[in-house]
Structure 1
Amino acid sequence: MKSTGKNIYPWAFGTSFLILTGLIGFLIFNTYKLEDKNYQIGQLNRIQNAYGAVIMDDKIFPGGDAIFQTTLVPCLPKWYEKKINKSADADQYGNHCMNGFLDQMRRQQSLDSIFRRIVHQQGLDTTLVYLFHFDKLEIYNARDRAWTTFYALAADDRAGLISGKLKRGTNNNRVFQLSVSDKNPIPYRFTYSLYVDYENRGWRLVQRMMPVFLLSLACIVVIVLLSYRTYRNWINQRKLADLKTSFLNHMRHEFNTPLTTILISAHSLIDRETGKDDKEVAQLGRIVERQAKRLKAYFEQVMGSVALQEQEAKIVSVSIDRLTQQILKELHLRYRGEIEIQYEPLAADVEMSLDEDYYFSILDNLVSNAIKFNDNSKKTIQFSWELQGHHYNLKIVDNGVGIAVADQEAIFTAFYRGKLSGNKPGLGLGLYYVKSYLDRLGWTIHVAGGKSGSGTIFYIYMSNVAFNGKR
């Protein structure tokens, strides 16, 4: 299981990092596209308005209409007839007409001076460059009652260049796409576009988005460092946990072996009780045996408090009443003659999901404390059930020394001993175990009673829906 976890963690980290990086990259890309779309939109609108005022009564540029009338318009009727009649030289004739027309437009255009004047008048950036581009020529087909494209050039086709130094026209830097039309001698429509941009538009956009890029890069670096640090910490914790488990197992073996040897030797001394000298030896053997058992119990408690963090709950669904009776019968046999254990069984059959070992340890520690911290000659502890809403609570009452009110908040802390515990032997781990097991099960505990000699009342609230169910 541990090996599987070690293998899954790097894959989970790598997958999460790739997903996160892809998401950030996707957001940056879309931000770039949006920035590219809206870049210099204010300047483009001002250029469009100013250009419209310049060529209000002409075509493309002042004097452009005359070029249309002398160069392009005379060719249109013949071109139209060839096209409609599907003449073999229709396209060749059309290319000849358009090439001559576009060449004439390039030679006589005044767009350079117009653009510089617009830039100056509008106070725009003088590093802007432009591109006037022919898009298509359409002629109205009276037979089909539709516009037919006779000649067209793509935006990146330099053959359609009329004027300008801009190398590439796109939808994002296009100021407008206009069509000029006339009915004579036949209906035609001439479409062209104006593009305005910086030569280094891409680099300008990158510079403008540099804070976003740097912040995103910084976030990715921080996430990588934190994830790597987390992964390294996790690896170190696993190593420490494995080392701790190995140490605990080694310590149990090293301590249990001599303690077991001492107990066996003490028991052998007790069995030799025949003569006077042997009786004294046997008495010393009983002392050694009693103290060895006490030392072994303390050692197991300390080892248990450390190993508790490594335990995993084994949740099963059981009848809480039958399980409680079985545990208390076992504890009755274990502590026979030391305490009277009373139990009021449930009237209904209720199933709960819990860890049986946890539940046994909870009851065992409560009974053990009721014996240890009790000065009465007849020690008693009573278990009963209370129904609160849809959940059952276990009530535990003993006749021991009680727990002072000032100690009730801290009594479940490891190695804490209350004021009323006096010089009783113990390490202060019993109620710590109880609280730890209850936390693992999602249950809570409340303590009542604060007067010396009045006993203690515990309430265990089994109210966690995820672990409880009434049948």
Structure 2
Amino acid sequence: MNSFNRNIYPWAFGTSFLILTALIGFLIFNTYQLEDKNYQIGQLNLIQNEYGTAIMDDKIFPGGDAVFQAELVPYLQTWFRKVMEHSPDAQQYGKQRMEQFLASMRKKQSLDSIFYRIVRQQRLDTTLVYLFHFDELELYNPTDSTWKVFYKSANANHMSAISGSLKQGSLNNRVFQLAVSDRAPIPYRFTYSLYVDYENRNWRIIQQMAPVFLLSLACIALIVLLSYRTYRNWVNQRKLVDLKTSFLNHMRHEFNTPLTTILVSAHSLIDRETDPDNKEVAQLGRVVERQAKRLKDYFEQVMGSVALQEQRAKIVQVPLDLFTMEILHELQLRYQGEIEIDYTPLGEELLLQLDEGYYFSILDNLISNAIKFNDHSTKTIRLSWERKVEQYCLKIEDNGRGIAPSDRNALFTAFYRGQSSGGKPGLGLGLYYVKSCLDRLGWAICLGNSSGGGTIFYIYIDNGYFNSKKKD
């Protein structure tokens, strides 16, 4: 499973990065298209209005109608007849007439002076250039009442241009497209377009978008950097976790082996107690056994507190009262003669969701503290359940020393030794371990006030952790 996580992390990062990069690229491209569509739209509107005023009722430019009437209109009927009769020279004839017409228009055009006058008067950018383009010529066919295309320029370029130095026209830089029609000597109509733009339009738009583009690149670079650092930290954390787990397992083995050997040896010495010559040796054996057990308890407490962070709660459902009484019975046997344990059952057949090991450790540590920090000859601890509106509460009350007010805020802190410890041996991990187990279970604990001395703990468990016990 760990190997799977290590392998999938780079793939997840790479896939997410590619998706994010593609998304940012798509947004930048759409932004570019929008800028391209709306670029200099205000200037184009001014040019359109001023151009309409300049030519008034003429065609294309002042004097353009005369050129059109002289160079193209007289030949339209002949051209139309040749096309309708499918004459073999119809295409060549039409091509020659259009070339001659466009050449005359280019020669006599006054569009340069009109355009640059508009630029000066409206104080527009003097680097603007334009393209005047003849688009299409159509003649009316009375036979089927349709318009037949006789000439059409597919692209807005200089092949059908009348004037201007703009290399290429497009929908984004077209100022207008106008249609002119007449009925004599034959119904006809033609369209022409005006394009205005900068020769370096794309570069200008890219420059305008440079802050957005650079910011996007910076964001991508920052995401890559943060993701790389996150991945590197994750790898380092995994190494530390593996090292920590290996260390804990090694420590358990290295400590438990000599401790077990010491305890076995101590038992061997204690067994000599029946021999009068070895009574002193037996007493020493009991000292060794007692201190070895104490050392083992400390070691297990430390190992348990450290290892708890790596453990996952194994949640099962158990009968609340029955399981609690089993644990208390086991602890009563362990601490036989040291403390009296009194338990008042809840009296309801409920199943509680918990981790059995955590629950045992919670009760064990609280009872152990009730023994350790208690100066009475008869030590007692009472456990009872209370039902609240949305919770169940386990009340645990002992007759020990109690807890000083100054110790309450730091009571569940690791290695904290309060005033009430009174020099008793310990590491200050018992209540920290209790709190850690409760946090893993999702339960809460708080300290109460006891009027007669001693300590009261309240453990609160939400109703969601309980289920009604099904009867057979």
Same fold (TM over 0.5): yes
Partner of 2:461: 462
Partner of 1:440: 440
Change (3 A) 1:153 1:372: same
Q: Map residues 55-204 of structure 1 onto 2, 5 A cutoff.
A: 55-84=55-84, 89-204=89-204
Change (3 A) 1:307 1:87: same
TM-aligned CA deviation for residue 297 of structure 1: 0.9
Partner of 2:17: 17
Partner of 1:240: 240
Change (3 A) 1:21 1:317: farther
**What are the superposed Cα offsets for residues 266-324 of structure 1, whole Å, 9 maximum, x if unpaired?**
11111111344411111111111101110111111112222122112223344434433
* TM-score when normalising by structure 2: 0.93
Say whether residues 1:255 and 2:246 are aligned partners. no
Q: Map residues 165-314 of structure 1 onto 2, 5 A cutoff.
A: 165-314=165-314
Of 267-276 and 413-422, the range deviating more from structure 2: 267-276
| C-alpha separation in 2, matches of 1:439 and 1:326 | 23
TM-aligned CA deviation for residue 142 of structure 1: 4.1
| C-alpha separation in 1, matches of 2:350 and 2:168 | 79
| C-alpha separation in 1, matches of 2:442 and 2:144 | 82
Of 322-331 and 438-447, the range deviating more from structure 2: 322-331
Asked if the contact 1:403–1:449 (Cα under 8 Å) also holds between the matched residues in 2, the reply is no
TM-aligned CA deviation for residue 144 of structure 1: 4.2
**What are the superposed Cα offsets for residues 83-105 of structure 1, whole Å, 9 maximum, x if unpaired?**
45555554444333323322222
Q: Which amino acid aligns with 2:459?
A: I
**What are the superposed Cα offsets for residues 356-379 of structure 1, whole Å, 9 maximum, x if unpaired?**
222222222222222222222222
SS at match of 2:348: coil
Of 77-86 and 322-331, the range deviating more from structure 2: 77-86
Percent of paired sites with the same residue: 72
Change (3 A) 1:444 1:148: farther
TM-aligned CA deviation for residue 3 of structure 1: 1.0
SS at match of 1:343: strand
| C-alpha separation in 2, matches of 1:184 and 1:45 | 33
Of 192-201 and 112-121, the range deviating more from structure 2: 112-121
**What are the superposed Cα offsets for residues 388-415 of structure 1, whole Å, 9 maximum, x if unpaired?**
2243222222222222232222111101
Q: Which amino acid aligns with 1:185?
A: P
Q: Which amino acid aligns with 1:223?
A: I
Asked if the contact 1:71–1:100 (Cα under 8 Å) also holds between the matched residues in 2, the reply is yes
Change (3 A) 1:345 1:160: farther
Q: Which amino acid aligns with 1:387?
A: R
The Cα RMSD (Å) is: 2.2
**Count of residues paired in the alignment:** 468
Asked if the contact 2:393–2:461 (Cα under 8 Å) also holds between the matched residues in 1, the reply is yes
Q: Which amino acid aligns with 1:415?
A: F
| C-alpha separation in 2, matches of 1:323 and 1:156 | 89
Asked if the contact 2:339–2:371 (Cα under 8 Å) also holds between the matched residues in 1, the reply is yes
Of 194-203 and 326-335, the range deviating more from structure 2: 326-335
Asked if the contact 1:270–1:286 (Cα under 8 Å) also holds between the matched residues in 2, the reply is yes
Change (3 A) 1:8 1:321: farther
| C-alpha separation in 2, matches of 1:52 and 1:318 | 91
Of 454-463 and 88-97, the range deviating more from structure 2: 88-97
Asked if the contact 1:266–1:286 (Cα under 8 Å) also holds between the matched residues in 2, the reply is yes
Q: Which amino acid aligns with 2:383?
A: F
5+ unaligned residues in a row in structure 2: which ranges?
Answer: none
Asked if the contact 1:339–1:379 (Cα under 8 Å) also holds between the matched residues in 2, the reply is yes
| C-alpha separation in 2, matches of 1:331 and 1:275 | 34
Of 81-90 and 329-338, the range deviating more from structure 2: 81-90
Of 300-309 and 453-462, the range deviating more from structure 2: 453-462
| C-alpha separation in 2, matches of 1:88 and 1:327 | 111
Partner of 2:316: 316
**What are the superposed Cα offsets for residues 338-385 of structure 1, whole Å, 9 maximum, x if unpaired?**
222232333333334332222222222222222222222222222222
| C-alpha separation in 2, matches of 1:142 and 1:334 | 116
TM-aligned CA deviation for residue 192 of structure 1: 1.3
Change (3 A) 1:49 1:456: same
**What are the superposed Cα offsets for residues 220-268 of structure 1, whole Å, 9 maximum, x if unpaired?**
1111111111111111111111111111222222222222222111111
Change (3 A) 1:182 1:315: farther
SS at match of 1:392: strand
Partner of 2:401: 401
SS at match of 2:394: strand
SS at match of 1:114: helix
Q: Which amino acid aligns with 1:257?
A: T
Asked if the contact 2:414–2:428 (Cα under 8 Å) also holds between the matched residues in 1, the reply is yes
| C-alpha separation in 2, matches of 1:390 and 1:194 | 78
**What are the superposed Cα offsets for residues 129-153 of structure 1, whole Å, 9 maximum, x if unpaired?**
1111222223344444444433222
| C-alpha separation in 2, matches of 1:163 and 1:15 | 52
TM-aligned CA deviation for residue 430 of structure 1: 1.1
Asked if the contact 2:390–2:463 (Cα under 8 Å) also holds between the matched residues in 1, the reply is no
SS at match of 1:29: helix
Asked if the contact 1:138–1:189 (Cα under 8 Å) also holds between the matched residues in 2, the reply is yes
| C-alpha separation in 1, matches of 2:161 and 2:247 | 83
SS at match of 1:273: helix
* TM-score when normalising by structure 1: 0.93
Q: Which amino acid aligns with 2:32?
A: Y
Asked if the contact 2:175–2:195 (Cα under 8 Å) also holds between the matched residues in 1, the reply is yes
Asked if the contact 1:391–1:470 (Cα under 8 Å) also holds between the matched residues in 2, the reply is no
TM-aligned CA deviation for residue 435 of structure 1: 1.0
SS at match of 1:278: helix
| C-alpha separation in 1, matches of 2:58 and 2:454 | 108
SS at match of 2:179: strand
Asked if the contact 2:392–2:463 (Cα under 8 Å) also holds between the matched residues in 1, the reply is no
Partner of 1:31: 31
Change (3 A) 1:139 1:402: farther
Q: Which amino acid aligns with 1:271?
A: D
